[in-house]
Amino acid sequence: MILAVHVDNCLVAGSSQVLLDGFKMEINTKYKTTDLGPCKWLLGIKIDCNFKLHTIALSQHTYIESILTRFNFDDLKPLAIPMDPSAPLLKSQSPTTLAGVAHMNNVPYREAVGLLMYVSMRTRPDITFATSMVAQYLKNPGWEHWEAVKQIFCYLKGTKDLKLVFGGETLDLVGFLDADGVSQDHRWAISGYVFMVDGGAMSWSSKKQELVTLSTTEAEYVAATHTAKEAVWLCGLIGELFSMVTKPTTLFGDNQSAIALVHRGQYHARTKHIDIQYYFIRYIIEAGSIKLIYCPTDDQTANTLTKALLSVKAKHFANAMELCTV
């Protein structure tokens, strides 16, 4: 369990109270500080430590309530999913007339998306895909795009009590990766990954790939490369803060063709055009830093970061990332 205290406006963390007390005494010999006690709030995030269960829970309940009030969304009906899979967002939905653009200028679209991004990046990976989708239309949003933003707020209203929980048991760093290349109007594949440590999501991403891929295998291969780079960085961070990571980090993918390409380096006409930079993952696997193994799509947690899902799956993957109400 990591203990954290406020000293003036700084957060001090350590693995034991003895270490924290020693550090504070040392600092006080040179600087005048004020001990504000155990950290309960940080940048709008509520921190709940359960020393009996050895867990830390992060939530933005108050922040979510404040942004709902800010846009007069208190009376919105709560929804079970952040994005409707049957109502894709399209570029053609953006206004093309001066009157349409002027009408949307009165809608606080950019402000709302910016506030959703803060929630998504801090404690709510379950809205990351939906938020990234509506963020693509910041330049010229249409009314359908605004309705999609409102749906995310409706989802947050119904799930504002969810907390991102870490601990309870010690689990190694693992990652889940996925790519989806057919569900978007622009036809650029979406890469998604989420890394879990001690049961909770600690790093996640949902981004449009920077190149047009020609197959599902290629899209998954590119996603695996980006995930591998994040894995290497996270292992370095964990090594500096705690102890060196000696075991390979496990990554879970649900595309067996991409996994075979990574492990065996099979070259043929359909894959030889892939840019050399995406072969980075092959070298990392050969070095023993990570291992990429298959998991069924129904257990692929990163699915929620690449596409809009139905309620049952959305709840399943949110729970898999340890977003719960305890």
93-122 confidence digits (pLDDT tens):
999 999 999 999 999 999 999 999 999 999
Residue 205 and residue 234 in contact, taking contact as beta carbons nearer than 8 Å:
no
Does the pLDDT of residue 6 top 80, yes or no? no
For the chain, give the percent of residues with pLDDT over 90: 60
Q: What is the pLDDT of residues 207-258, one digit of tens each?
A: 998 877 778 888 898 899 999 999 999 999 888 877 777 789 999 999 998 8
Residue 304 and residue 319 in contact, taking contact as beta carbons nearer than 8 Å:
no
Q: What is the pLDDT of residues 126-138, one digit of tens each?
A: 999 999 999 999 9
Identify the pLDDT of residue 14: 74
Does the pLDDT of residue 24 top 70, yes or no? yes
Identify the pLDDT of residue 270: 54
Element spanning 236, H or E: helix 216-241
Q: Which residue has the higher pLDDT, 22 or 177?
A: 177
Identify the pLDDT of residue 1: 43
Quickly state the pLDDT bin for 182 (edges 50, 70, 90).
Answer: low
Quickly state the pLDDT bin for 4 (edges 50, 70, 90).
Answer: low
Instruction: Provide the b/e sequence for 194-226 (b: ≥16 CB within 10 Å).
Output: bbbbbbbbbbbbbbebeeebeebbbbbbbbbbb
For Cα atoms 207, 112, 144, give the angle at the middle one, nearest 5 degrees: 75
Residue 223 and residue 178 in contact, taking contact as beta carbons nearer than 8 Å:
yes
Does the pLDDT of residue 10 top 80, yes or no? no
User: Which domains does the chain carry?
Assistant: 3-59 (no CATH), 61-159 (no CATH), 170-324 (3.30.420.10)
Provide the phi-psi class of 266: left if phi over 0, else alpha when psi is between -120 and 50, else beta: beta
Average pLDDT over residues 286-312: 93
Q: What is the pLDDT of residues 149-164, one digit of tens each?
A: 999 999 999 999 999 9
Identify the pLDDT of residue 267: 52
Q: Which residues contact 99 (CB under 8 A, 6 or more apart)?
A: none
In whole numbers, what is the pLDDT of the chain averaged over residues?
88
Does the pLDDT of residue 170 top 80, yes or no? no
Backbone angles phi, psi at 160, to 5 degrees: -65, -20
Distances (CA, A) of 262 to 283, 293, 295, 302, 305: 9, 10, 15, 19, 22
Average pLDDT over residues 288-317: 94
Identify the pLDDT of residue 12: 79
- Residue 69 Cα to chain centre, angstroms: 25
Highest mean pLDDT (candidates 54-58, 161-165, 170-174): 161-165
